[in-house]
Amino acid sequence: MRRALAKVALVVHDYDEAIAFFVGVLGFRLVEDSPLDNGKRWVTVSPGSPGATLLLARASDGEQAGVVGRQAACRVGFFLETDDIQRDHDRWRASGVVFEEAPRQESYGRVAVFRDLYGNRWDLIEQADRVAGLESIIEQNDPSL
Domains by residue range for the chain, with CATH: 1-68 (3.10.180.10), 72-145 (3.10.180.10)
Q: What is the pTM of this model?
A: 0.85
User: For residues 145 and 9, which has the higher predicted lDDT (pLDDT)?
Assistant: 9
| Confidence at residue 137, expressed as pLDDT on a 0 to 100 scale | 46
Q: State mean pLDDT over 37-58.
A: 93
For the sheet with 53-58, list strands across it: 7-12, 53-58, 41-46, 29-35
Give the residue among 117, 120, 122 at the shortest CA–CA distance from 81: 122
pLDDT tens figures, 66-123? 999 999 999 999 999 999 999 999 999 999 999 999 999 999 999 999 999 999 999 9
